[in-house]
Amino acid sequence: MSQTTIKARDLRVNPIAVNTNVWRSRTWERLKFEIEYALERGTTANSYLIKAEKTALIDPPGESFTEIFLSDRVAELQTVDFIILGHVNPNRAVTVQKLLEILPQVQIICSNPGAIALRSILEKPDLNIRVIKGDEKIDLGRGHVLEFVLAPTPRWPDRMLTYDPASKILFSDKLFGCHVASDQVLDEGWESLLEDRRYYFDCLMAPVAKQILATLDKIAALDISTYATGHGQLVKYGLKELTNLYRQWSQQQSQRELAVALIYASAYGNTATVAQAIAAGITKAGVAVNSINCEFVEPTELRQAVANCQGFIMGSPTLGGHAPTPVQTALGVVLATAEKNKLAGVFGSFGWSGEAIDLLETKLKDAGYKFGFEPIRVKFKPTAQILKECEEVGTDFAQALKKTKKATVPKAQFTQSQDDRVAQAVGRVVGSLSIVTAQQNEVASAMLASWVSQATFSPPGLTVAVAKERAIESLMHNGGKFVLNVLEQGKHISVMKHFLKPFAPGEDRFVGIETVPAENGCQILQDSLAYLECTVESRMECGDHWLLYATVDRGKVQNNTGVTAIHHRKSGTHY
């Protein structure tokens, strides 16, 4: 269904089991700037109503959907006995506040960190809250005896999953979700959603892989038929496969050779959002992230994480001109534990001043740590452009760690092995030199590419290999647009040099380059031999690269007498 034929936001109610409905608050807009929304495919905020002898409302949506969620459904909501919160944040608290006006006696079910957060946000210490600490159950009648699984992560220390043995549904909150808006309730054709689910995992779950593995172990003994996710289609048909993939992806993260300790606290969610973007960039580059919320971590766990990492990054909000006490305590642990050869970084968000960022920067510099990037200072909420820069900062930080690691490995005496001979042979595969340009709203990027090949005649299509750590990679998901600018022999050297140089995060790649906008919104290089406007149709993960198949929408040869520039390599181990 196209966006032009529906309202920008709506609510659909669908039955998913006996006595159980999903309330799907949908939008085709990009509501938030969090990096996990960056594919801009809309989202669905899923809430659930189990109506037996007693009624439970699970995970009411955030503020963006409060109005449509409550509209014309007050009578039905007045029957609710329990509001179950998988996690608490200020957005969801707005809807909870409105529900409390309708249901002043309702009992709220959540974890202890969730209870503390909700009382603080609503400024109501006397809320009727039942705190789940272990094996508590709630009997709704008719066989619906709800069980709970505590599954905290640094970003959501209060996270709790709900299981209903009667329907065999696990209400999984953030786990197993994706940001896609559609009419589809369940995951029929589940493989078509894998790219979105993998992107969602990489953004939200990869930095907390250790906690994800622990959660998977906790739910392994449950007889589950469906994951009732907080976002996107519910997982039924691909449940086994997605569970196995989550374990596989999490194990890959946990087993990486290099790791970064990402230590932060967040007052209003902005610092956590920046942390998530930095983490996404680090994981893209093949380095593990150990995300740590210093408000909830034990000193021994923090010391161990800092001791085992190769680099660390600290982030803090500024509250009343100071860093929060947990950040200052964590800073003391870091200064006492981290060796001086570890790469450091600092970031933070603030409203009127940024003293907390200054404190972290000064203390770490005075202690002799080398910084991997200039401190990141974000005023109020980060924009899409800022989050893209933060992602690139994370990638650069990870690559700097790799270079440091490589420099410490002694070079072995040269003997030509079978691997060397294979690398030399692979290096003889040649490709045309091209500049790939892509743009998504105000975010633009470009890269030099030579791993390009025609793939189909009808429709005309090609493949492009893009390294996972490339900044442009996040703009080239399914449906993404790009322009392939084929360079001309004899005119390609200066363009190559320009796009080969290292760019700072967020730096304009096109300064000094003459371009004109293509019909798909990306940039055409005026000096290119030819250009092709393309749409990404599919992606395949291939080791350290993504292989993209794209169809050609339009194109033109700009110099009929020119010859394509070719890239000749001597080895298949590098460009």
Question: What Cα–Cα distance (Å) separates residue 221 from each residue in 143, 146, 276?
Answer: 19, 15, 31
> Fold for domain 7-252?
Metallo-beta-lactamase; Chain A (3.60.15)
CATH code for the structural domain at 423-567: 2.30.110.10
Beta carbons within 10 angstroms of residue 453's beta carbon: 11
Per-residue pLDDT of the chain (575 residues; tens, 9 = 90+): 333 334 578 999 999 999 999 999 999 887 667 888 888 889 999 999 999 999 999 999 999 999 999 987 888 899 999 999 999 988 999 999 999 999 999 999 999 999 999 999 999 989 999 999 988 999 999 999 999 999 999 889 999 999 999 999 999 999 999 999 999 999 999 999 999 999 999 999 999 999 999 999 999 999 999 999 999 999 999 999 999 999 999 999 989 999 999 999 998 889 999 999 999 999 999 999 999 999 889 999 999 999 999 999 999 999 988 999 999 999 999 999 999 999 999 999 998 888 999 999 999 999 999 999 999 999 988 988 999 999 999 999 999 999 887 776 565 555 556 667 777 776 667 789 999 999 988 899 999 999 999 999 989 999 999 999 999 999 999 999 999 999 999 999 999 999 999 899 989 999 999 999 999 999 999 999 999 999 999 999 999 999 999 999 999 999 999 999 998 888 877 78
d(CA 356, CA 340): 22
DSSP 392-440: HHHHHHHHHHHHHHHHHSPPPPP---HHHHHHHHHTT--EE-EEEEEEE
Question: Measuring CA to CA, which residue among 489, 461, 465 is closest to residue 564?
Answer: 489
Please give the class, per CATH, of domain 256-407.
alpha beta
Residue 554, both tokens: 């339009």
Domain boundaries, the chain: 7-252, 256-407, 423-567
Q: Nearest-CA neighbor of 437 among 522, 365, 502, 506?
A: 522
Per-residue DSSP letter, 373:
S
Buried b (16+ CB within 10 A) or exposed e, 44-63: bbbbbbbbbebbbbbbbbbb
Specify the pLDDT at position 412: 53
* Cβ–Cβ < 8 Å for 221, 243: no
Instruction: Say how far apart CA 471 and CA 111 lie, in whole Å.
Output: 38
Contacts 24+ apart (CB under 8 A), 489-498: 489/562, 489/563, 489/564, 489/565, 489/566, 490/562, 490/563, 490/565, 491/527, 491/529, 491/562, 491/565, 492/433, 492/565, 495/435, 495/525, 495/527, 496/433, 496/448
Residue indicated by tokens 């896609």: 180
Nearest-angstrom CA–CA distance, 490 and 399: 32
- Asked if 557 contacts 529 with a C-beta cutoff of 8 angstroms, the reply is yes
Phi, psi for residue 217 in degrees, rounded to 5: -65, -40
Distance of CA 179 to the CA centre of its chain: 11
Q: What whole-number distance in Å separates Cα of residue 364 and Cα of residue 517?
A: 44
Helix (H, G, I), strand (E, B) or coil at 463: strand
| pTM score, whole prediction | 0.86
What count of residues does the chain have? 575
